[in-house]
Structure 1
């Protein structure tokens, strides 16, 4: 007997994205009055930001996919995805200031990806 299974749903439908929490994590390093994190806090924040990006990238791609190829918001979203993927491939520097700068760049990508999810999907999750 052959078992038939449905294909998995797109990531954006499979995982509810907590954009508020993702943005809050990003603000931790970008707020004008942000306190400098300890080395341990920075490591945790960096891992959180990377995890957020790993969830957001496929969600943005899923939201952009149905749009026409010459659509400007689609092109902007996919450019943001490309930059986010590049940032995921970078290693933080060995000093605390270099690690903070790296995490701030990840934070900016998280914010931009959240914006694209909202703008392309039209739904705040």
Structure 2
């Protein structure tokens, strides 16, 4: 199991710890796979907390990696849009009906996947 790691930073900059994109993607796949079984109410609560945690860990890392690139860099712009979308999804009020909660969790899972993609792309594109 290979894991992408963040580049080392100079002292005095943001703390960029490597993200375990394998674990993050596995959690997202739990809701997004074509053959995914719908989680029970309790499983959904746990999964939503896990996805929220993954997003909260990934956002500052992706944002800091993007900040290292030139302002007109396309991967930087894409990553920052993904960060904004993930923040928006984290800020939404929780809904109560199970189908709505599943839809919300699936949206957050897509954001977690996107953050993983941006992280991997930015680690490869670093200056």
TM range (shorter): 0.7 to 0.9
**What is the aligned length?**
115
1:108 is matched with which residue? 110
| SS of equivalent residue, structure 2 residue 68 | coil
Residue 11 (1) aligns with residue 15 (2): yes
* Higher mean C-alpha displacement, 113-122 vs 88-97: 88-97
User: Structure 1-normalised TM-score?
Assistant: 0.87
2:62 is matched with which residue? 60
Unaligned runs of 5+ in 2: 1-10
The alpha carbon displacement at 1:11 in A equals: 2.9
Q: Distance in 1 between matches of 2:122 and 2:112?
A: 15
Unaligned runs of 5+ in 1: 1-5
State the Cα RMSD in Å: 1.4
Over alpha carbons, which structure has the higher Rg?
Answer: 1
